[in-house]
Amino acid sequence: MAKMIDVPTMSDERGSLSIIENLIDFEIKRVYYIYNTDAEQRGGHRHKRTNQLLVCVSGSCSVYCENELKKSEMFMLDAPNKALYVDAKDWHTMQDFSKNCVLLVLASEFYDANDYIDERY
């Protein structure tokens, strides 16, 4: 089930440093990021195996998630010290991208077209 995670952050007069370490229970096998998007929506799928951690390192976007129990929730990613864990079974879309949005995704699996499930529950 999708859940928000506070990313440990240290700040001083030099700026802020956020650390993603021991926050997720999977090995990171793929890293990608979405930016310069004029798309109304991205995603629109769930996975067979891939768990993900989403971090909006710049700007903002919202993420809609729906799980197998038909529980749905909208999450706002608007700070680099907030992350969203998305379970493989969570059907999800990303939307409402700000102009300067950079959405970083850490994934548990390498890309595999057969891992994607387009149907909702």
The burial class, CB within 10 Å (0-12 / 13-18 / 19+), for 103 is buried
From the list 30, 45, 58, 87, the catalytic residue is: 45
Contact assessment for residue 108 and residue 77, using Cβ atoms and an 8 Å cutoff:
no
Bridge partners, residue 91, by sequence = 66
Largest CA distance in the chain: 48
45 in active site: yes
- Active centre residues (catalytic): 45
